[in-house]
Amino acid sequence: MSAPAERGDASRRPALPVWAIATIAGAFGLFYAYAVWNALDFLIVQATGPLGLNGYGWFVLLLAIVFPVVVFAIAFALGWRRRALALALILLTGLGVVSVFWLNVLAYTQVAGAGLLGG
């Protein structure tokens, strides 16, 4: 009876030491933080412009700030129990998703930017 309990405890432990998980997640976290700061800067520039932002503009640009944090949390939750390369690849995939989302936000603000302004 104790063998399955021991196996269950072993499967819950991470495959890497905590310092390695923190180092990999911290290195990728800097890139995710750059995406957040970039989105925050864009929001501030747009909100302090001559026309300001309407409700939809606030929603789109606040989503661009929150999205990298959520993706990092999901990627970390999926990868922290895996080996170093798998953790790095999962975080890199999440960073790619964040980059594509940011490019979509930029493209949308260029094409339909007038719909976000004036509040």
Task: Determine the pLDDT at residue 50.
Answer: 85
pTM of the model: 0.83
Task: Determine the pLDDT at residue 114.
Answer: 74
Rounded distance between C-alpha atoms, residue 95 and residue 38, angstroms: 14
Local structure of 8: helix, strand or coil: helix
The mean pLDDT value for 2-31 works out to 77
Residue 104: strand pairing partners: none
Average pLDDT value over all residues in the chain: 87
Residue 67 has pLDDT above 60, yes or no: yes
At 42-61, the pLDDT tens digits run 999 988 988 888 888 899 99
